[in-house]
Structure 1
Amino acid sequence: MSSNSFEATKYIGVRFRSHKTRRHGVLLDKYFVIRYKVNGKLREEGLGWASQGWSPAKAHKIRSEVTANIKLGVGPQSLGEFREIKAEEQRVKIVASKARKPFSEAGETYIEEYARNNKKSWKHDRTRFKLHLAPVIGKISLDYLTFQHIEVLKSTVAGKGLSKATVVQCLALARQICNYSIQRGWLNGANPVKGVKFPRLNNQRLRYCSLDEEIAFFEMAIQRRYLDCHDICLLSLYTGMRMGEIFALTRQDIDLVENRIIIKGESGADDGPKSGRSRVAYITEKILPMLATRIPDLLNMESLLFPSPSGDMRKEIGENFATLMKPLGWNEGVTDRRLRFCAHCFRHTFASRLVAKGVPLPVVQKMMGHATIQTTMRYTHTHDDQCRNAAQLLV
């Protein structure tokens, strides 16, 4: 509790009272007030505690300014008015500071404080930001960033001869940084990326693995003794798992009793489950012998099923896959990336074969780990011949 007994200081109109128990240094904490007359009436206003930075000299300075303003009839004429002016000055300073924040600073903060902790692809964001966004709009203050600046960014990235996908990714990153800046109070008004027309993408892969190609690929992989490449692709073809999901598999994820594989939602891999949800893949006779052979060699339950040569989690399937592609010749002369054969084609083939067998799309969606049924429906176009055959049933 505080005492109500005020004591004078050496300064006229400056008094204080001591706290009964709380100390500031070796002395009891002191609460300072100032007294002065306005139109013949005595006014007293509290300033604050010594522990908050107040002192007799500081209180005297404030009182002197107030009384001088009262005599001249200008400026703040009470402590309350002083505080209002200081608060407004601070607000203006903060607004001005925010307005001056360049896009580059906002982008770096977004990547380090948000993307790094929330996005698996944050390293890709960092690279795109440094290579494409920062050089074009990095120096522009957020509150001066406009639709036109984003259009310049769009045309600049496209002018480098980069893919439409890269242009879309750069625009999406700019939009995310601006949204983050709005949330942080750095950017006022609407997102300047709003209204910018994104290039339409048609990057749906059209390449699948036929039964003859399946035989040729796996026979050659065995002949070359590319066993990791063979087993990784076999697992993808008969479970539909993404490469990143396979790379993250450990011994504890393989259940040979129930014949199932647990695909963890947070795998730590760049190409892990995109929905963030865990799911189950099922072990069939096509992959059981391979898993049964590999598992006894693992040291413990946390051991990776397909570690990199250095023992860490893989980032990619490795150069052996590209080496296999050369003698097979499947990509020779193929410039459209949608038609080129890649390791991801095995996952697409898994889904395509399920659809061809008449498996309901919701089941395919669950097995593939798709967040939406629309993604799964992309596989239906590969079986238009089934629709033609169905139509013939009515003839």
Structure 2
Amino acid sequence: MWEPYKKGFKAYLQLERSLSDNSVEAYLHDVDKLTQYLQLTNNHAGPESLELKVLQGFIQSVAELGMTPTSQARIISGIRSFYKYCLIEQIVSADPSALLEAPKLKRALPDFLSFEEIEKMIAAIDLSKPDGGRNKAILETMYSCGVRVSELIGLKISCLYLDVGFIRVIGKGNKERLVPIGSDAIKYINLYKDSIRVHQPLKEGYQDILFLNKHGRPLSRIMIFYIIKDLAKKAGITKSISPHTFRHSFATHLVEGGADLRAVQEMLGHESITTTEIYTHLDRDYLRSTLNEYHPAFKK
């Protein structure tokens, strides 16, 4: 009895909310988990007759399976979105998920690299190898623009406006944004594009993709991960880092430098300012030294 509602929910997510395929699948997966729970507990209720206590029992069962608070919160978000759709379509007259409490989450502060550590990693690139120039352009772009990995590997030559210092990025939900790009990144993109990429074979359909592997195809997310891990090892950096660390570092350095959060939000492509606020984690020494220097009560 839930299948027609799931199909309608899928269409709502795709058409009205313009979500990516991955996001749509994640939301549908959350509703699937709920319907599996209903089957296991022999509950034949449809969305219109499901009560809060049933949803609470479902979340309790998820917690008992050992799912982390983050995963539980993610599922609750999916169920709430489903009921928002049900309200819009008048499938239900009241939302039983409205009072469903998500577990309290500790906001994990992402690891980030200092400017010196990023410089060390870039310096560790072997420019005598064919992929060296490409990798240098990749790292400079990641740090200069704070792009997601998916945005980096999908970056198109036709979306480069290097003469005016911008790139056009296609982010989550196919939303486009213009992001400023620094002079070093521009320099190394041009060097790669004009001196290395021109000598590579190009596979049909990928002529406009900027960063290619030796076979003329786009790089995979995993390949970017390996490049970053290898350079961190060569630079003697022991932090747990990934390509996303460059995005965290970009945002952290901007916020620490006094950048406006709204501007950082725009550059990162965050829908909500609360997502950007995680980057306000200035370290304690920095805060203490700022107080010592500027606050009358701390001055000796």
Query: Shorter-chain TM-score: which interval?
Result: 0.7 to 0.9
What do the CA deviations read for 1:243-281 (whole angstroms, capped 9, x no partner)?
222222111111232222122xxx2xxxx2579452222
Q: 2:14 aligns with which of 109, 113, 116?
A: 116
Matches within 5 A, 1:320-335: 320-321=226-227, 324=230, 330=238
Q: TM-score by structure 1 length?
A: 0.59
Contact 1:355 1:380 in 2 (8 A): yes
Shift of the alpha carbon at 1:192? 1.3
Distance 1:346 1:225, change over 3 A: farther
What is the root-mean-square deviation in Å for CA atoms of aligned residues? Answer: 3.3
* Structure 1 residue 293 corresponds to structure 2 residue 191: yes
Distance apart, 1:370 and its partner CA: 3.7
Distance (whole Å) between structure 2 residues aligned to residue 204 and residue 225 of structure 1? 38
- Residue 304 of structure 1 aligns with an amino acid whose one-letter code is I
Distance in structure 1 (CA, Å) of the matches to 2:206 and 2:47: 50
State the shift of 1:320 in Å. 1.6
Residue type of the alignment partner of 1:390: T
Structure number with bigger Rg: 1
Distance 2:2 2:228 in 1: 40
Question: Aligned partners of 1:202, 1:317: CA distance in 2, in Å?
Answer: 31
Aligned length: 275
- Corresponding residue number in structure 2 for 1:354: 254
Q: For 1:87-144, what per-residue CA distance to the aligned partner results, in whole angstroms no more than 9, with x for missing partners? A: xxxxxxxxxxxxxxx3344224312x222332111122234444x2331136532232
Greater relative contact order (CA < 8 Å, ≥ 6 in sequence):
2
User: How many Å apart are 1:288 and its aligned residue?
Assistant: 2.3
The equivalent residue for 1:15 is none
Distance in 2 of aligned mates of 1:231 and 1:128: 39
Shift of 1:220: 4.3
Alignment partner of 2:167: what SS?
A: strand
Structure 1 residues 313 and 152, CA, compared in 2 at 3 Å: closer, same or farther?
farther
Partner of 1:58: none
**1:282 aligned partner, one-letter code:** I
- Give secondary structure in 1 for the equivalent of 2:78: helix
For 1:217, the equivalent position in structure 2 comes to 121
Give the percent of matched residue pairs that are identical in Structure 1 and Structure 2: 19
DSSP 3-state at the match of 2:98:
coil
Q: Which residue of 1 aligns with 2:110?
A: 206
Aligned pair in 2 of structure 1 residues 365, 184: CA closer, same or farther (>3 Å)?
closer
Q: Give the stretch that moved more between structures: 119-128 or 295-304.
A: 295-304
- Indicate if the aligned counterparts of 1:103 and 1:140 stay in contact, CA closer than 8 A: no
Equivalent residue number for residue 160 of structure 2: 254
The letter of the residue matching 1:358 is G
Q: How does 1:176-195 map to 2 (within 5 A)?
A: 176-187=81-92, 189-195=93-99
Q: Which residue in the other structure is 2:5 paired with?
A: 106
Report the secondary structure of 1:278's partner residue.
strand
Counterpart for residue 197 of structure 1: 101
Equivalents in 1 of 2:247, 2:270: separation in Å? 12
Measure how far apart 1:291 and its partner are. Answer: 0.5
Determine the structure 2 residue equivalent to 1:16.
none
Alpha-carbon distance in structure 1 between the residues aligned to 2:108 and 2:100: 23
The Cα of 1:197 is off from its aligned counterpart by 0.5
Higher share of residues assigned strand: 1
Q: Which amino acid aligns with 2:111?
A: R
Question: Please, what TM-score do these two structures have when normalized by structure 2?
Answer: 0.76
Describe how 1:121-132 pairs up with structure 2 within 5 A. Answer: 121-130=23-32, 132=33
Whole-Å Cα distance in 2 between the matches of residues 373 and 115 of structure 1? Answer: 22
Q: Write the deviation string for residues 335-391 of structure 1: whole angstroms up to 9, x where unpaired.
A: xxxxx4221111111122123333344443443334454443332322443432332
| Structure 1 unaligned residues grouped into runs of 5+ | 1-101, 332-339
Paired residues of 1:252 and 1:302 also in contact (CA < 8 A):
no
What SS class does the counterpart of residue 208 from structure 1 fall into? coil
C-alpha contact (below 8 Å) 2:206/2:216 kept by paired residues: no
> In the superposition, relative to structure 1, how do residues 133 and 217 fare at CA in structure 2: closer, same or farther (>3 Å)?
farther
Query: After superposition, where does 1:59-138 map in structure 2 within 5 Å?
Result: 102-111=1-10, 113-117=11-15, 118-120=18-20, 121-130=23-32, 132-137=33-38
Task: Give the structure 1 partner of residue 151 of structure 2.
Answer: 245
Contact 2:146 2:250 in 1 (8 A): yes
The runs of 5 or more residues in structure 2 that have no matched partner are none
Q: Is the 8 A contact 1:355 1:361 kept in 2?
A: yes
